[in-house]
Amino acid sequence: MNNIDVNKLMGMLSKMDKKDIENGLAQVSKMLNSKNKDEILKDINQKLEK
């Protein structure tokens, strides 16, 4: 599994509003229940790097 820098994650969360965080958590929940989680993680990491 990919490691995410906790400080980077917390910094991102501090800039998000409640609705964005809820949407993000919904995506994480979907990812954890998905058989395709590696592909989703790869997609998320690519978006974070932009």
Cβ(23)–Cβ(17) under 8 Å?
no
Q: What is the pLDDT along the chain (50 residues), one digit of tens a residue?
A: 456 677 887 787 787 788 888 888 888 888 777 777 788 778 888 888 87
In a 3-state reduction of DSSP, which class is residue 33?
coil
Name the phi and psi angles at 12, rounded to 5. Answer: -65, -45
pLDDT at 4: 67
